[in-house]
């Protein structure tokens, strides 16, 4: 392709900025400029208002543990029962986690061999000692023999490790995980929370408030009354 420079208009005066100069000439008194400054200030103020409003949470989300530490107990019946765990035995966070993990995985009507297999598997996952696995096996076996879990094993509806949430006054949303909940005809829901001695030490009333919140959430979700039970192990 060939271009002929002779066809171009050369030595033309540059026109950059002429449009801006014309605009300024029309607004010599600065009326439009002042209006623009005011409109920009209004826009900035509205922008800040919208950002402040948008950054304010519509709900305060807390875990059941966090809320139970600072709130009053809900008006829900909460009983405290025990499986009568022998002493001495291992303690600590890992042992409590191991017991919870086995109770979440094992069948509620499992025989001793099934409990031992579940404890061995969860113990390997958590890096637990042989003594912790043995103690967890015995603790879970005692728990499964308790009347509460015997009822749960034969209940028509039973939920374990079930996530729940309940909206409370003051735009507070409380979330947690129910260890076990079962429904008996004519008796409503029973919500069971498992606690080892170390977990509950010095925090009995706080733990009862936790279970009460779980029961309150189940009642709201199902429309069926629920009672709470704190099962010490």
CA separation (Å) from 5 to 11, 23, 74? 13, 35, 90
Structure tokens at 139: 């603790």
pLDDT in the model for residue 27? 67
What's the rounded Cα separation, in Å, for the pair 139 and 231?
A: 12
CA separation (Å) from 129 to 31, 68, 94, 100, 103? 82, 32, 10, 16, 18
What's the rounded Cα separation, in Å, for the pair 170 and 73?
A: 16
CA 104 to chain centre: 18
- DSSP-derived secondary structure letter, 65: H
pLDDT in the model for residue 123? 94
What's the rounded Cα separation, in Å, for the pair 28 and 92?
A: 80
Kindly state the average pLDDT of the residues 180-187: 88
> Would you kindly state where each structural domain of the chain is located, as residue ranges?
18-47, 58-83+151-233, 86-145
Does position 19 have pLDDT exceeding 70, yes or no?
A: no
β partners of residue 223: none
Does position 134 have pLDDT exceeding 70, yes or no?
A: yes
Answer yes or no: are the C-beta atoms of 95 and 128 closer than 8 Å: yes
β partners of residue 230: 80, 193
Per-residue confidence band for 41, with pLDDT thresholds at 50, 70 and 90: very high
Answer yes or no: are the C-beta atoms of 68 and 199 closer than 8 Å: no
pLDDT in the model for residue 168? 86
Does position 17 have pLDDT exceeding 70, yes or no?
A: no
Least trusted range by pLDDT, from 6-10, 15-19, 207-211, 216-220: 15-19
Higher pLDDT, 96 or 21: 96
Question: What are the backbone angles phi and psi of residue 93, rounded to the nearest 5°?
Answer: -65, -40
Residue in this structure with the two tokens 């519509």, named with its chain if needed: 58
What's the rounded Cα separation, in Å, for the pair 214 and 176?
A: 8
Higher pLDDT, 170 or 183: 183
What's the rounded Cα separation, in Å, for the pair 26 and 30?
A: 9
- Give 50-109 pLDDT, tens digit per residue: 999 888 888 888 888 888 888 777 777 788 888 876 667 888 889 889 999 999 999 999
Q: Enumerate the H helices of 56-129 as residue ranges.
A: 64-70, 93-105, 112-126
Higher pLDDT, 61 or 2: 61
**Count of Cβ atoms closer than 10 Å to residue 106 Cβ:** 23
- Give 151-181 pLDDT, tens digit per residue: 999 888 899 999 998 888 878 899 999 999 9
Answer yes or no: are the C-beta atoms of 182 and 208 closer than 8 Å: no
Structure tokens at 147: 């009347």
Answer yes or no: are the C-beta atoms of 77 and 190 closer than 8 Å: no
Least trusted range by pLDDT, from 18-22, 71-75, 85-89, 226-230: 18-22
């Amino acid at each position: 392709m060939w271009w002929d420079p002779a066809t171009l208009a050369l030595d033309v005066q540059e026109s950059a900025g002429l449009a801006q100069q014309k605009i300024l000439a029309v607004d010599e008194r600065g009326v439009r400029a002042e209006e623009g400054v005011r409109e920009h200030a209004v826009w900035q103020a509205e922008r800040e208002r919208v950002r402040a409003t948008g950054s304010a949470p519509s709900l305060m989300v807390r875990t059941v543990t966090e809320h139970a530490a600072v709130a009053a107990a809900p008006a829900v019946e909460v009983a405290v029962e025990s499986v009568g765990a022998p002493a001495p035995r291992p303690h600590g966070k890992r042992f409590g986690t191991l017991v919870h993990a086995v109770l979440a995985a094992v069948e509620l009507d499992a025989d001793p061999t099934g409990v031992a297999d579940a404890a061995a598997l969860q113990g390997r996952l958590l890096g637990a000692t042989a003594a912790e696995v043995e103690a967890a096996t015995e603790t879970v076996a005692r728990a499964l023999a308790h009347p509460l879990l015997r009822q749960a094993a034969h209940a028509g509806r039973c939920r374990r490790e079930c996530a729940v949430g309940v909206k409370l006054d003051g735009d507070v949303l409380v979330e947690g995980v129910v260890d076990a909940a079962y429904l008996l005809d004519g008796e409503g829901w029973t919500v069971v929370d498992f606690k080892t001695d170390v977990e509950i030490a010095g925090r009995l009333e706080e733990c009862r408030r936790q279970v009460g919140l779980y029961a309150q959430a189940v009642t709201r979700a199902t429309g069926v009354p629920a009672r709470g039970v704190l099962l010490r192990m």
